[in-house]
Structure 1
């Protein structure tokens, strides 16, 4: 199966992304497998210099869900030169759609052929380079969502956010759920609000527990953090000694 995927995606790489504007002109020798490729999520790159001014409005009228990155106008090439300004977008179709269907959107984008989006979270986070600190950083507030675009959090993401929110409750001495809700709603990203609002009983219980015995909980929190910090320092010293 993996070999088939490598071969199939290799076919995508053979296409000159700017050569064919009409999907009917895609070469006859393109593999039948690629023509039959169906995916629900697709990635596109759009350049301001070639896209029509109303490309977002045109794409929105198709009804597909899509997200648009901030304009990447500070990205650098390997040699240090400035990359051509561009947007990254993720399109979600109602169901699995063929490569030819996805490629037909180039009539709107006037950009390269789309690529398959294997998972939504990684490309979405790439919109701001949040996991690539060496690259230009962009604001998540500049991300635009259309037609109800949303990404379902994985169970791992939910657990991570719940832990972060627990620490926020302690660090900011939040003892009321309404206060907690306001903090998350106005200071944190939408994912955090989703987790908070979908786990009302859990966070309300944390607020109540912290309100009833804040000193003991804060003391325990500090002890745990010191123990964890000490463990990390000890492991670091052991590695340095071994090296």
Structure 2
């Protein structure tokens, strides 16, 4: 049985349907890469899954935790909604670090507040994760003293500090200068090799081909194609995906 199950997800903003009957499944320890043009619903998809946006209709399951929505109301799993959300952690494209806190403080905050961990233990965990990100020497630095790549690695450490069952990445490299993209992708590749369950919205097709177990192409709020990355990237079935891929030929050739 799949570990992540998303069934019949729709999301309306007024009369606009941003997501239209989206369904997918992902096994534990696997990585799904999600691609598509701007405005096709990729980020809304992740935000609905993490309940940052209330789905109009959906049936979600992670492991044995399930929540269901109908007409923008939660109709199943009411007591478990917070527990469901805590199974995930999101890494956003804009880092979203607290500017008045050091890297160490940013990573230690959620374990202290949400997991009720003692401060010294939370800081020890934060230092361990920053060390893993190659940032031990930057633990006392504030976000403005860090490069974009370093800030994003702090954000990944912060996500890992919550010990999530599923990691969500929303265009984690799109705000970075080109020379900094590789250092963040290397971290994401290492997480995939560890067997982390990940859903990754990305425009890095080389990463998707190399790392992902499942590739999902969104178009106009729907999943237009889904399957093994080599199959979709090498032999796209729809004209829309063919046209999308022509814009990234240079990336795939690397």
Question: What's the TM-score bracket when you normalise by the shorter of the two chains?
Answer: under 0.3
**Structure with the bigger percentage of helix:** 1
TM-score normalised by structure 1 residue count: 0.25
**Structure with the bigger percentage of strand:** 2
Greater relative contact order (Cα < 8 A, sep 6+): 2
